[in-house]
């Protein structure tokens, strides 16, 4: 799941974390007119859930910051599924381009 980390904060309470600005696609994100911060990655997570994994909808919450993406909840399986999807995106420049284009074509606005 690199560069994401899934940690258990308390028994049964999990956080999926990504330090923003540490991915292989940061340069492409900037080329596309966005900032590789936690809010941008929340947008990517929302697009992934909406377009590819609707079964994850409502199974966790988001709490990003400028320097970090965070999704949290008590559904470890859902967070692992999101982490796997996001990990694949974080290392694939073509995939990040495609997701941003899809999001923008559908009127999604990134909050970065």
Round the average pLDDT of the chain to a whole number and report it.
Answer: 96
Average of pLDDT values for 45-70? 96
The answer to whether position 84 is within a domain reads yes
CA distances from 26 to 46, 76, 80, 83, 99 (A): 18, 27, 22, 17, 14
The answer to whether position 111 is within a domain reads no
The answer to whether position 11 is within a domain reads yes
The answer to whether position 96 is within a domain reads yes
| Amino acid 108: pLDDT | 93
Average of pLDDT values for 45-69? 96
| Amino acid 112: pLDDT | 84
Q: What are the φ/ψ torsions at residue 71 (nearest 5 degrees)?
A: -120, 145
- Above 90 in pLDDT, residue 86? yes
Residue 77 banded pLDDT, cuts 50, 70, 90: very high
Cα–Cα distance between 28 and 44 in angstroms, integer? 14
CB of 1 within 8 A of CB of 83? Answer: yes
Range of the domain at 36: 5-105
The answer to whether position 74 is within a domain reads yes
CB of 38 within 8 A of CB of 70? Answer: yes
| Amino acid 19: pLDDT | 96
- Above 90 in pLDDT, residue 1? no
Q: Per the structure, how many domains does the chain have? A: 1
- Above 90 in pLDDT, residue 82? yes
The answer to whether position 42 is within a domain reads yes
pLDDT digits (tens, 9 = 90+) for 7-38: 999 999 999 999 999 999 999 999 999 999 99
CB of 67 within 8 A of CB of 20? Answer: yes
The answer to whether position 110 is within a domain reads no
The answer to whether position 112 is within a domain reads no
Residue 95 is part of a domain; what is its CATH number? 3.30.1370
């Amino acid at each position: 799941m690199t560069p994401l980390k899934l940690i258990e904060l308390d028994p049964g309470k999990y956080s999926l974390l990504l330090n923003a600005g540490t991915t292989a696609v940061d340069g492409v994100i900037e080329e596309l007119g966005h900032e590789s911060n936690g809010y941008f990655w929340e947008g990517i997570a929302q697009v992934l859930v909406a377009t590819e994994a609707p079964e994850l909808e409502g199974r966790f919450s988001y709490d990003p910051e400028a320097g970090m993406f965070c999704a949290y909840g008590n559904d470890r399986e859902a967070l692992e599924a999101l982490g796997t999807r996001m990990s694949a995106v974080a290392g694939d420049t073509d995939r990040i381009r495609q997701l941003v284009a899809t999001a923008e074509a559908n009127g999604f606005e990134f909050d970065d």
